[in-house]
């Protein structure tokens, strides 16, 4: 089988490797669709993320769907939960397996991920995909799951004003969740015009730049000087955190979803302190999230399909990463069996409206 391994900064290579053999309790998965995430880009650009560094060639990829090959579930299409908790530590037993200190994670550290034709994975982490969901939809369930968990942590109340800072796929999922969850006003922030336009399409009432000279007057007018009740920071930058702290009202909750490229996040302590803000950190997602994410997509409450802006075959994985680096679109998907040409999605929609 073919596998894409990261050997160093910007050095990803296709190699031929043996098809893995499942152990009891696991299944062989033929990978169909893999999303390239911002954390994958950290590995590609920096050969690491936070305090985790590349120690040996690694197969990236943690947003993925596939088909079970062999066994009693042969032929079943599944979305794959990428986290491998130990299952026996205190956090796992309390139902917080996302906080497991011994967790392995697909495409991270020493755990090979999904940018290959086949892998084996524990059966309990394979979630059946309804016929209404495509394989790329299945890959998009992972970023949606992170958004669902973050939204849970935000304790958003009916009638709230919600600010979403950073309109990549997870931020755009949060825009939709806020709208579906009863927020009466959703305000999105992003420096990129096409992402602000996307936020409006997905339900934001207002989409602002990250320039304080532009967004502060608009925010004050939109919220009558109050600010947002809850802020979701999904940019992974200090600037994004700063905008979030400015955008929310005193006493608000600020949910930090983004992962910084370094292992540090810096913000104005005086702003956070004087507003009495509650800052909440997000660690992936809890065990109940995947079924909820599937239902949200199946019932049309969240649209993930139109976030896919480019698709590549596995042999062009390097071009897929370079395309994701430009941030010209929204989500890049790699499909092992797809043609090698690029298929635009969101750009076509924008062109149709111009």
The answer to whether the beta carbons of residues 201 and 305 sit under 8 Å apart is no
What is the rounded (10 degree) CA torsion for 187, 190, 193, 196?
-30
What is the span of the domain harbouring residue 341? Answer: 2-129+304-350
Co-location of 75 and 157 in the same domain: no
Write down the pLDDT at residue 340: 56
Q: Are residues 317 and 252 in the same domain?
A: no
Q: Give the pLDDT confidence score for residue 349 in this predicted structure.
A: 39
Q: What is the DSSP string of 204-272?
A: -SEEE-S-HHHHHHHHHHHHTT--EEEEEE-S-SHHHHHHHHHHEEEEEEEEE----SSS-----HHHH
140 occurs within a structural domain: no
Cα 64 to chain center, whole Å? 11
User: Which CATH number belongs to the domain containing residue 275 in this structure?
Assistant: 3.40.50.720
Question: CATH number, domain at 101?
Answer: 3.90.180.10
Based on the structure, what is the number of domains in the chain?
2
| φ/ψ (deg, to 5) at 252 | -75, 165
The alpha carbon dihedral of 179, 183, 184, 189 has a sign of: negative
In a domain, 287, yes or no: no
**Predicted local confidence at residue 154, as pLDDT:** 96
Reading the chain (354 residues) residue by residue, the pLDDT tens digits are 999 999 999 899 999 999 999 999 999 999 999 999 988 888 888 888 777 888 889 999 999 999 999 999 999 999 999 999 999 999 999 989 999 999 999 988 889 999 999 999 999 999 999 999 999 999 999 999 999 999 999 999 999 999 999 999 999 999 999 999 999 999 999 999 999 999 999 999 999 998 888 899 999 999 998 999 999 999 988 899 999 999 999 999 999 999 887 778 888 889 999 999 999 999 998 888 999 999 999 999 999 999 999 999 999 999 999 999 888 889 999 998 766 555 555 444 343 343
Nearest-CA neighbor of 324 among 104, 44, 56?
44
Residue 82 DSSP class = -
Domain ends where: 229, 248, 281? 281
Q: Do 162 and 91 have their domain in common? A: no
119 and 7 in a common domain? yes
Give the pLDDT score at 353.
40
């Amino acid at each position: 089988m073919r596998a894409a391994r990261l050997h160093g900064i910007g050095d990803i290579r296709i190699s031929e490797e043996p098809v893995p053999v499942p152990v009891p309790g696991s299944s062989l998965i033929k990978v169909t669709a893999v999303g390239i995430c911002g954390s994958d880009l950290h590995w590609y650009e920096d050969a690491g993320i936070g305090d985790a560094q590349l120690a040996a060639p690694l197969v990236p990829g943690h947003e993925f769907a596939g088909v079970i090959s062999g066994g009693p579930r042969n032929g079943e299409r599944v979305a794959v939960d990428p986290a491998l908790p130990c299952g026996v530590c205190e956090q796992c037993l309390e139902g917080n397996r996302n906080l497991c200190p011994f967790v392995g994670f697909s495409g991270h550290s020493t755990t090979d991920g999904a940018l290959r034709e086949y892998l084996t994975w524990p059966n309990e982490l394979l979630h059946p995909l309804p016929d209404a969901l495509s394989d790329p939809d299945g890959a998009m369930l992972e970023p949606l799951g992170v958004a669902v968990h973050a939204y849970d942590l935000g304790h958003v109340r009916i009638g709230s004003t919600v600010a979403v800072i950073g309109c990549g796929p997870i931020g755009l999922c949060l825009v939709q969740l806020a709208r579906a969850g009863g927020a009466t006003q959703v305000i999105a922030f992003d420096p990129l015009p096409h992402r602000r336009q996307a936020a409006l399409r997905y339900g934001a009432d207002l989409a602002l730049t990250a320039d304080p000279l532009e967004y502060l007057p608009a925010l004050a007018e939109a919220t009558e000087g109050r600010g947002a009740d809850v802020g979701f920071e999904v940019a992974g930058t200090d600037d994004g955190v700063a905008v979030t702290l400015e955008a929310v009202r005193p006493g608000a909750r600020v949910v930090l979803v983004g992962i910084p490229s370094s292992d540090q996040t810096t913000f104005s302590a005086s702003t956070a302190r004087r507003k009495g803000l509650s800052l909440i950190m997000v660690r992936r997602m809890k065990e109940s999230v995947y079924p909820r994410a599937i239902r949200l997509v199946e019932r049309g409450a969240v649209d993930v399909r139109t976030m896919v802006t480019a698709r590549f075959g596995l042999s062009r994985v390097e071009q897929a990463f370079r395309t994701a680096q430009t941030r010209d679109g929204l989500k890049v998907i790699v499909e092992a069996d797809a043609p090698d040409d690029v298929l635009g999605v969101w750009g076509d929609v924008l062109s149709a409206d111009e």
